[in-house]
Amino acid sequence: MRLNGKKSILLLSGVGIASSIIAASLGGWGQTAPKENAKWSLRAPNGIQFGLIKGYERWQVVAMHYRPDMKEMRYILANPIAVQAYHRGIPRNGKAFPNGAILVKIGYSLKPIDAFPNAIEPNVLKRVEFMVRDPKTFKNTGGWGFARFVYNQTTKTYTPYGKNAGFAQECFNCHAIVKKQDFVFTNYISKG
């Protein structure tokens, strides 16, 4: 439900309604470790809740990006609204993603596969970040709400990135490089 476009936008703008995100996330308790579930109620300094992307692990991977300088692999996942938009040619065609589209980026460190060291596999999760399309709420950042949660492998917990809501300006300033592509770097590569 929360991933449904219209509902996510409503949830972003109302504090009262936002508490239902927490209530809804609590519904999943008991199936996985509490620490893992605790992440859903975290909020980025601009108010965006981690729980907005609950279930993202099963969203479609639309791209992988390798950053040799940072020795990292990034997976880009898209919610169904964003996947449909990619199929319509967005953002290469210069059109904007529809409201409720969400793109998630997950960064991992790398390590050789033990049994075959020439092959490299993802190792430790570094961070989960995402951008949600909601032009009314996020007028100053190209119509996108940005959020980043940094992962600590030792404590197995996440920390919201940014001292205050202004952190999103940093995200936006760099994503402005791809203004012509609705501020999205990732292009969808169809398989096979």
The least CB distance from residue 15 to ligand HEC, in Å, is 22
Looking at the Cβ atoms of 9 and 131, the one nearer to ligand HEC is 131
Q: From CA 112, how far away is CA 137, in angstroms rounded?
A: 43
Please, which residue, 19 or 169, has the CB nearer to ligand HEC? Answer: 169
Q: Shortest approach of ligand HEC to residue 188 CB, angstroms? A: 10
Q: Which residue's CB is nearer to ligand HEC, number 10 or number 178?
A: 178
**C-alpha angle 110-115-121 in degrees, rounded to nearest 5:** 20
Among candidate residues 79, 61, 76, 57, the one with its CA nearest the CA of residue 7: 79
Compute the least distance from the CB of residue 148 to ligand HEC, in Å.
4
Of 19 and 71, which has the nearer Cβ to ligand HEC? Answer: 71
The site for ligand HEC (CB under 6 A) is made up of 65, 67, 74, 76, 103-105, 129-131, 146-148, 161, 167, 170-171, 174-175, 184-186
Of 124 and 174, nearer to ligand HEC (C-beta) is: 174
74, containing H or E segment: strand 72-78
Least Cβ distance, residue 42 to ligand HEC (angstroms): 14
Identify the DSSP state of 163: S
- The residue type of 25 is S
Q: Which of 168, 126, 134 is nearest to 150 (CA)?
A: 126
Q: How far is residue 172 CA from its own chain's centroid?
A: 14
Least separation in angstroms between residue 27's CB and ligand HEC is: 26
By the 8 A CB rule, do 127 and 149 touch? yes
Phi, psi at 129, each rounded to 5°: -135, 160
